[in-house]
Chains A and B, each alone.
Chain A
Amino acid sequence: MIQLRSVSRAFNAQRPVLRGLDLDVAEGELVAVVGRSGAGKTTLLNVIGGLDAGYHGSVEVAGRCLAELDDRALSAFRNRSVGFVFQAYNLLDHLTVAENVVLPSLFAGARVGAGGHREARERALAALAAVGLADRCDDRPAVLSGGERQRVAIARALLQRAPLLLCDEPTGNLDEVTGADVAELLQEVRRARGVTVVVTTHDRVICRLADRVLELCDGLLVAAGALSGETAQ
């Protein structure tokens, strides 16, 4: 699903964030990436998700070489192949929960008209039902708890049935119990839909659920299973 070769990313010459990094993630795998703050975890997700194109090396995701895609194709790739879940949820406060979830369908381009809109809303309600929030579809994000907002973000990420879910510290703003619920939800989604999940996290629950735990250290991914054990402890 994901193949990174010699990927480097630097925002200034003195301090490269990623340094010739290699990564392979199989389809349906749940990979947790840990590392201290500023290690480049978010940058790694941005590169994989086609949000950051300023890297060197080769990035292939879902059979597509991202360097070869122009803005339109890269946007379509993000829309159809990737679901993003952010630490800060990044929901649009002026929209209802359902409108937030349905947003990606706006950019899918295929369907137009009232029929397409209705169909997208039905999918949004189904996605909300999948994360246990069917009854909150007409609420604004501001009235939801942190855990509920993150569930809405996950529902939004699932709407387009993307095969890859990129989660940037999804439990970072949540308490331990709620974080565990969200981690369980991610695991459930992976099992039910067979999506590949890459999560950057400090959360031990997520690390325990992950197939592999990688640590981003000095711009490189190191220590897989062994480090997972350390983190879990």
Chain B
Amino acid sequence: MSLRPALRLARLELRRGWRRLAAAGIGIVLAVASLVFLFSLGLGLRATLLGEVFPLDRLEVAKEASSLDLLGVRLPLGGDTLDPAVIEQLRQIPGVRRVYPKMKLTVPAVASGGGWLFGSALQTELVVDGIDPDLVADEVGPAFRMPTTGVGVACHRDRDCGDDAYCALTGPASLTGSCRPYIPVLVSHHLLELYNGSLRRAYHLPQLDPDRIIGASVDLTVGASMLRADPRRGVARERVRLVGFSDRAIPFGLTLPIDVVRELNVRFGSARAADAYHSAIVELFSSKDARQVIAAAEGLQLVVSDRGARRAAGLLALVMAIVAAVGAALLGVAATSVAHAFFLTVDGRRREIAVLRAIGATRGDIRGMVVAEAVAIGVAAGAAGVAIAVAGAVVVDRLAARWVSGLPYQPDSLFLIEPWLIVGGLAIAVVAAVLGALPAVRRSAGRDPASTLSGW
């Protein structure tokens, strides 16, 4: 088959019958549009789920604590903390970029304040986590590090201590004190969403604007509890200041720099608490390494708390497989309609094809001509399908932004249109068109020109 006559003849034929052939390609347009739209939606959801809700390139591992179930009560057997040796072992696992130990505050804490925000001061029991500031440096920068300036200076009021510290009076009746640093604190987006979505309605509290509450401070009384306090330990009074929101923060509670939590744990516990980590965030070079890293961590008797990620990934894989199957079925139908259209077209052109054979076209030239027409239809239909899918994604995104706002983890776009998806959409459109045209290709090239020209 020579390419030149095939392309030129196909061009001439498309010039004549583009309307008819465009009609043949409509099925492919719809199939490719559906496929690209649904796949990009699936990829977008996958990216949101695995990138933000259950990030698989960061795994949280904890000690697999053995326990004894007794009448519904689980009694721990052995420790449930990670020591520095285990952290080092995690760092040595291939595929691991960095390991960030996490430490929980092992004494109760109560936060109080916020009267300026809520109308009256609130008091609540809190769970407190400590994380490495490096873990969130890309989100909140240096704000999550303990301030050092102005600390220890004598003061009468907060104003005397600059921006990063407050004036801690020496007693309730005292007029003087010394400057103490605000402890930077992070809150998860999830907690904010939960508050704005549910809690504020239940307690008739105002909705919080995340941008406007940055810098808000509350008092934190460590060692105190509204449930069960140990009066022998005493309390530590600190003031924490919100410096940002992060999905790496504990979902329900406050997240502090790990050094602060370590210091409090040592103060209220023992020196051994300084190296007792409760979990670690393992950052991977690629989410593709997750399987092997999980296996290695499990070999260290650690459990990976990514069940949600794995379940979500599995569910999405299933959804994508269903989308692919539906897309394949649509393409099959589209290819059938192309086959029908090409059969009719080639049948109507049998005399013309016989003339081409008489003036020197080989069977390969005729085959090439019909295939080139099919490829042209496939490219045009694929491009139209991809364009419709992209336009549909833009419309859906705009509608979602307008009508469905305030959902947790709502991304900027629900869709992820990767270049390979566009190329793939074009490619499968071409493949469907060519496959559909194949029976007509065989028929056109197989006809005897003499009998056609003789009118037998």
Complex alpha-carbon distance, A117 and B306, angstroms = 65
**Contact, CB under 8 Å: B352 / A51:** no
**Contact, CB under 8 Å: A51 / B364:** no
Which segment of A78-86, A181-189, A218-226 sits at the interface?
Answer: A78-86
The 0/1 profile, CB within 8 Å of B marked 1, for residues 152-189 of chain A is 00001000100000000000000000000000000000
- Shortest Cβ distance from A79 into chain B, in angstroms? 3
Contact A75:B361 (CB < 8 A) given known A90-B351, A92-B352: yes
The 0/1 profile, CB within 8 Å of A marked 1, for residues 355-395 of chain B is 11111111111000000000000000000000000000000
- Shortest Cβ distance from B345 into chain A, in angstroms? 12
Q: What residues of B have a CB within 8 angstroms of the CB of A160 in the complex?
A: 360
Complex alpha-carbon distance, A201 and B362, angstroms = 29
Complex alpha-carbon distance, A42 and B17, angstroms = 31
Q: What residues of A have a CB within 8 angstroms of the CB of B5 in the complex?
A: 106-107
**Contact, CB under 8 Å: B4 / A72:** no
Complex alpha-carbon distance, A104 and B361, angstroms = 8
Q: How many residues of B contact A (CB 8 A)?
A: 29
**Contact, CB under 8 Å: A75 / B16:** no
User: A215 near B: Cβ within 8 Å?
Assistant: no
User: B2 near A: Cβ within 8 Å?
Assistant: yes
- Shortest Cβ distance from B368 into chain A, in angstroms? 11
- Shortest Cβ distance from B165 into chain A, in angstroms? 79
Q: Which of B13, B17, B364, B454 contacts A43 (CB 8 A)?
A: B454
Q: What residues of B have a CB within 8 angstroms of the CB of A49 in the complex?
A: 358
Q: What residues of A have a CB within 8 angstroms of the CB of B15 in the complex?
A: 94
Chain A residues 69-103 with CB under 8 Å of chain B are 71-72, 75-76, 78-80, 84, 86, 90, 92, 94-95, 99, 103
Complex alpha-carbon distance, A51 and B352, angstroms = 14
Complex alpha-carbon distance, A84 and B13, angstroms = 22
User: A112 near B: Cβ within 8 Å?
Assistant: yes
Complex alpha-carbon distance, A164 and B356, angstroms = 18
**Contact, CB under 8 Å: A71 / B453:** no
**Contact, CB under 8 Å: B355 / A107:** no
User: B117 near A: Cβ within 8 Å?
Assistant: no
Contact A107:B351 (CB < 8 A) given known A90-B453, A95-B12: no
Complex alpha-carbon distance, A92 and B350, angstroms = 12
Contact A51:B357 (CB < 8 A) given known A86-B453, A94-B15, A107-B5: yes
- Shortest Cβ distance from B51 into chain A, in angstroms? 51
Complex alpha-carbon distance, A154 and B359, angstroms = 12
**Contact, CB under 8 Å: A80 / B360:** yes
**Contact, CB under 8 Å: A92 / B454:** no
The 0/1 profile, CB within 8 Å of B marked 1, for residues 38-69 of chain A is 00001100100101100000000000000000
Q: What residues of B have a CB within 8 angstroms of the CB of A52 in the complex?
A: 448, 450
Q: What residues of B have a CB within 8 angstroms of the CB of A104 in the complex?
A: 359-360
Q: What residues of B have a CB within 8 angstroms of the CB of A71 in the complex?
A: 362-363
User: B425 near A: Cβ within 8 Å?
Assistant: no
- Taking CB as reference atom, which chain A residue is nearest B360? A79
Complex alpha-carbon distance, A106 and B372, angstroms = 15
- Shortest Cβ distance from B239 into chain A, in angstroms? 80
Q: What residues of A have a CB within 8 angstroms of the CB of B363 in the complex?
A: 71
Complex alpha-carbon distance, A106 and B7, angstroms = 10
- Shortest Cβ distance from B445 into chain A, in angstroms? 9
User: B186 near A: Cβ within 8 Å?
Assistant: no
Contact A51:B355 (CB < 8 A) given known A107-B2, A107-B361, A109-B2: no
